[in-house]
């Protein structure tokens, strides 16, 4: 029988990787369909809004693999931190994909000196006081989302974002050791992002 | 007894208004705490990440007031369209709050000629084939979110975004006539955004 799910994404980790992490964690079979950049123009018109709704898909899969909250209030806490991580991702991506070199340099400075320290200090403090997790004191898809996205964020900034965040480092190690995810990371295709 | 909820937001509609719409729709008592712009610097440090997690709050309230999906797949469809609306909101806000006049003019042109027609054509088509709604063929918080945000989007662009979208106009009218929301819109403070 063919897998029930097919993930259509670029041949990179980026926003596809949290989805892949959740599917592998839940031991859910799926077709990991990767297209090349040059094929994007022919695929894009078939996407409802020219892109993939990655966070909505992650939230859906999180329920399937039991990494959602135990109640509405827990889901609120998880959703808020996931949106926060995504805000940071968007700020970094806006810099990374900027084509004007002057604007890009100035954005880089703001990111390195202000934005990234601001977010990372707060995320580190949350994990420290929260039993080693980003939300509700236990493993949720917020942890998986953050760790799966980290390679992409690091690649765009050309730094290790959590180098001064020991609690986030432990979280990363723990997520990368989860059953399903550990095996996936060991065998996944090597990509730039 | 004091209301169980307190909404802390700027004295505008903007991202606070979808939250207010959902609370009023559900007849949930809340303190609508509005601060002035000049007080934001003293309030900001008390917000976990210097801002309000408005979509996460809307999703939480939607469950309380029975405007969420009936199952995980319906929630996926709702979440995807809400994220899409928020993408459009972010593109418009990026233009609106741009301080470089040259960049701002060029962003405005792209928005008016490409981005807004792209999104609005697709949203209009969805509502047309979807029983007058943005998701799952019935009233959900996606409809409320879109209509509540529309004033803000219109104000930032200084146009009526749905002027060529008859189905979105009907949706707007229907949402603005919902019990609780109708009374709220009639009495809410007049604000620029």
CATH number (domain holding residue B47): 3.40.30.10
pLDDT 10s digits, B37-71 = 899 999 888 888 888 789 999 999 999 999 999 99
Provide the 3-class DSSP secondary structure of residue A160: coil
Of B109, B123, B107, B133, nearest to B162 (Cα)? B123
Provide, as residue numbers in chain B, all residues whose Cβ is less than 8 Å from the Cβ of A76: 56-57, 59-60
Q: Is residue A192 part of a domain?
A: no
Assigned domain for B86 exists: yes
- The residue of chain B nearest to residue A94, with distances taken between CA atoms, is B94
Indicate if A55 and A104 belong to the same structural domain.
no
Instruction: Examine residue A157 and state whether it is found in any structural domain, yes or no.
Output: yes
**Beta carbons within 8 Å of A16's beta carbon, 6+ residues apart:** A7, A9, A10, A52, A54
| A193 falls within a domain | no
Beta bridge partners of B7: B32
pTM score, two decimals? 0.95
Q: What integer pLDDT is reported at residue B45 of this predicted model?
A: 85
Whether residue B45 sits in one domain with residue B93: no
* Statement to judge: residues B76 and B142 lie in one domain: yes
Whether B49 and A84 lie within 8 Å, measured CB to CB: yes
Q: How far apart (Å, rounded) are the C-alpha atoms in residues A25 and B191? A: 48
Question: A96 and A169 share a domain?
Answer: yes
Residues B9 and B34 in one domain: yes
Give the end-to-end CA distance of chain B in Å, rounded to a whole number.
32
Residue B149 and residue B78 share a domain: yes
Q: Which among A56, A63, A64 has the least Cβ separation from residue B80?
A: A56
| A60 and A85 both lie in a single domain | no
B75: buried, middle or exposed (CB in 10 Å: 19+, 13-18, 0-12)? buried
- A91 domain-assigned: yes
Q: Do A80 and B56 touch (CB under 8 A)?
A: yes
Which SS3 state, helix, strand or coil, does residue A130 take?
A: coil
Taking CA–CA distances from B118, the nearest residue in chain A reads A49
Is residue A146 in a domain?
Answer: yes
Contacts of B80 in chain A (CB under 8 A): 48, 53, 56-57
Alpha-carbon torsion (A135, A139, A145, A150), positive or negative:
positive
Cβ-defined contact of B60 to A49 (cutoff 8 Å): no
Domain range for A49 is 5-65+179-187
| Residue B97 and residue B141 in one domain | yes
Q: Residue B8's beta-bridge partner residues? A: B33
Among A28-32, A38-42, B112-116, B146-150, the minimum mean pLDDT is found in A38-42
DSSP chain B: ---SEEEEEESSSGGGHHHHHHHHHTT--EEEEEE-GGGHHHHGGGSTTSS--HHHHHHHHHHHTT-S-SSHHHHHHHHHHHHHHHHHHHHHHHHHT---HHHHHHHHHHIIIIIHHHHHHHHHHHHHHTTTSSSTTS--HHHHHHHHHHHHHHHHHTS-TTTT-HHHHHHHHHHHTSTTHHHHHHHSPP---
Report whether A193 contacts A37 (CB < 8 A): no
Same domain for B19 and B114?
Answer: no
What would the mean pLDDT of B91-117 be, rounded to a whole number?
95
Residues B51 and B84 occupy one common structural domain: no
Among A49, A51, A72, the residue with its CB nearest the CB of B63 is A72
Distance (Å, whole) CA B89 – CA A97:
20
The total number of structural domains in chain B stands at 2
Stretch B23-38: mean pLDDT, rounded? 95
- Confidence category of residue B1, pLDDT binned at 50, 70, 90: low
Say how far apart CA A107 and CA B123 lie, in whole Å.
33
Distance CA A111, CA A100 (A): 16
Question: Quick one: A82 and A120 in the same domain?
Answer: yes
Question: In which band, very low, low, confident or very high, does the pLDDT at B174 lie, cut at 50, 70 and 90?
Answer: very high
Q: Residue A25 and residue A11: Cα distance in Å, rounded?
A: 20
Task: Give the pLDDT confidence score for residue B107 in this predicted structure.
Answer: 94
A–B CB contacts, 8 A cutoff, strictly below: 64
Distance from CA of B72 to the nearest CA of A (A): 6
Both tokens assigned to B154: 């219109």
The two three-digit tokens of residue B106, written as one number: 């060029």
In a domain, A10, yes or no: yes
Q: Give the best residue of B4, B80, B117 to mutate against chain A (max A CB count within 10 A).
A: B80
Determine the distance in angstroms separating the CA of A176 from the nearest CA of chain B, rounded to an integer: 26
| pLDDT tens readout for residues A97-149 | 999 899 899 999 999 999 999 999 999 999 999 999 999 999 999 999 999 99
Residue A97 and residue A46 share a domain: no
Is A51 part of any domain?
Answer: yes
Give the number of other Cβ atoms within 10 Å of residue A134's Cβ.
26
ipTM higher than 0.90?
yes
Distance from CA of A80 to the nearest CA of B (A): 5
Q: What is the pLDDT of residues A36-88, one digit of tens each?
A: 989 999 988 888 888 878 999 999 999 999 999 999 999 999 999 999 999 99
Residue burial A146-169, b: 16+ Cβ < 10 Å; e: rest: bbbbbbbbbbbbeeebbeebebbe
Q: Which residues of B touch A50 (CB under 8 A)?
A: 118
- The C-alpha atoms of residue A91 and residue A94 are separated, in whole angstroms, by 5
CATH number, position B105: 1.20.1050.10
């Amino acid at each position: 029988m063919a897998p029930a799910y097919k993930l259509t994404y670029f041949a990179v980790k980026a926003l596809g990787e949290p989805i892949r992490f959740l599917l592998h964690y839940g031991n859910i079979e799926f077709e990991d369909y990767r297209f090349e950049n040059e094929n994007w123009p022919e695929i894009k018109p078939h996407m409802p809004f020219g892109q993939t709704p990655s966070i909505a898909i992650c939230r859906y899969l999180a329920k399937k693999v039991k990494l959602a909250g135990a109640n509405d209030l827990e889901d609120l806490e998880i959703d808020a931190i996931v949106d926060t991580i995504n805000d940071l991702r968007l700020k970094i991506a806006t810099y990374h994909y900027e084509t004007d070199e002057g604007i890009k340099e100035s954005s880089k400075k703001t990111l390195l000196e202000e934005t990234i320290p601001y977010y990372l200090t707060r995320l580190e403090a949350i994990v420290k006081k929260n039993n080693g997790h980003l939300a509700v004191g236990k493993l949720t898809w917020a942890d998986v989302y953050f760790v799966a996205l980290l390679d992409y964020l690091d690649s765009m900034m050309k730094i290790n974002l959590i180098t001064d965040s020991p609690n986030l480092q432990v979280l990363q190690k723990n997520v990368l050791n989860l059953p399903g995810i550990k095996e996936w990371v060991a065998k996944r295709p090597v990509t730039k992002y």
